[in-house]
Amino acid sequence: MILQILYNVWNIFQILLLIYLGSTGLYLLFFAIASLFKIPRRHQSNEKLKRFAILIPCYKEDEVIIEVALEALNQHYPKELYDVVIIADNFHQQTIAELEKLPLIIFNVQFEISTKTRAINYALRNLPDNAYDAVCILDADNIMEADFLFKINSSISKEYIAVQGHRVAKNTNTSFALLDAISEEINNQLFRKGQRVMGLSSALIGSAMAFDYTFFKRLMQEVEVVGGFDKELEIRLLKDGYKIEYLPDAYVYDEKVQNVKVFSQQRRRWLSAQVHYFGRNFLPAIKALFKNGNVEYFNKAIQYLQLPRILLLGVLFFLTATSTAFRIPDYTAWWLVSFAITILSLIISVPAKFYHASTLKALLYLPVGFFFMFLSLLKIRGANKKFIHTKHTFNAFQIKKN
């Protein structure tokens, strides 16, 4: 009797797990296939050149900021129509002196609690009112391609007051950096291009993005978060019915994590933000779907419900392997199908440029990544409430042109 009860409980658990993990795989496959098609575009003509504020919030980024600032000043865009604004939090005075030699706007600050939102809001409060039409947000290590602002300028409109550029790897100098670069491109295909092809909004990343200036300044007055800055903006936009555009040909180069320690810290912060925003938004998103037909908000809540892909792969591999090894006939085929669907969705989403020998070598580190991702999952409590800094290095300044 007890054995039968345990068997029934185990069956129910496996069914629920199959539904959860299998539906995640199907969700990824749906947008992976969608990403193979072009994003529908509306022709725009007689575009007025907008005046941009390029905001670069930085925390102790003395090693890379000079090079980043010089690159930001090299846009193929009229010099009088954009300002590069550095919010330098806890910088050495020598670095500030070097920055002051360049045609930049510099805010030399020292916050008691440093956050990206705090730095951006400080700049917005101290920049002249009505001086700009649009704002572009970069991270301290980001390098824009030379015509990035031209491409962004043509997309910001009444319909799209928020635009996400295509952030790609600046460096692939280690196996972890390569895995991080591939992960970013999978995100770009699934949650940016794939979603736009299907008429949904692009996901935001947190940098390489631009907004209507007046709208963004008003929006940011209500935003004060430690982690998950991009998620906070995204939720507010989608709840209010705004559409987020994605430009796959507007590149910004971003440093990828180079070792397991940085990987673990970064993913811990991301996991914490995902759990936090899932808890806050899942039930309201369901209500908004049925009450207002807000599919965008509900879709975002569904994404927060899903396991990160490296955990998804690890769990599916484990369940498939154990089911096969212990000959559990009721579910082995289903686990194999779920695993195959997930693998297929990722294969479709990885750009062709990553299909080389170095990627095969990097894949050997996936179990290490899974292990540290699992440890991060166990230690996410409170990570969303404290600032976790990812230090950038000049050694990663190896831009990989697309």
What does pLDDT average to in each consecutive run of 10 residues of the chain (402 residues)? 77 88 96 95 70 94 90 94 95 93 93 87 92 94 94 87 95 87 95 96 94 94 81 93 95 84 70 82 93 94 90 89 75 90 96 90 83 70 55 54 52
Q: Which of 384, 372, 116, 142 is nearest to 263 (CA)?
A: 372
Q: What is the pLDDT of residue 174?
A: 87
- Paired tokens of 206: 């947190």
Q: What is the pLDDT of residue 390?
A: 58
Q: Which of 251, 245, 262, 257 is nearest to 143 (CA)?
A: 251
Distance between CA atoms of residues 318 and 241, nearest Å: 40
Q: Which of 310, 297, 301 is nearest to 373 (CA)?
A: 310
134-137 sheet: strands from edge to edge: 105-109, 82-89, 52-59, 134-137, 209-212, 162-169, 244-254, 143-144
Domain ranges of the chain: 21-34+264-381, 52-257
Q: What is the pLDDT of residue 286?
A: 94
Q: What is the pLDDT of residue 153?
A: 94
| CATH number at 52-257 | 3.90.550.10
Q: What is the pLDDT of residue 395?
A: 52
Q: Between the CA of residue 62 and those of 7, 11, 50, 276, 341, what are the distances in Å?
A: 60, 56, 30, 32, 45
Q: What is the pLDDT of residue 31?
A: 97
DSSP states of 273-326: HHHHHHHHHHHHHHHHHHHH--HHHHHHHHHHHSPPHHHHHHHHHHHHHHHHHT
Q: Between the CA of residue 246 and those of 17, 115, 200, 252, what are the distances in Å?
A: 33, 26, 10, 13
Distance between CA atoms of residues 110 and 240, nearest Å: 34
Q: Are 70 and 102 in contact (CB under 8 A)?
A: yes
Q: Between the CA of residue 11 and those of 230, 330, 331, what are the distances in Å?
A: 39, 9, 9
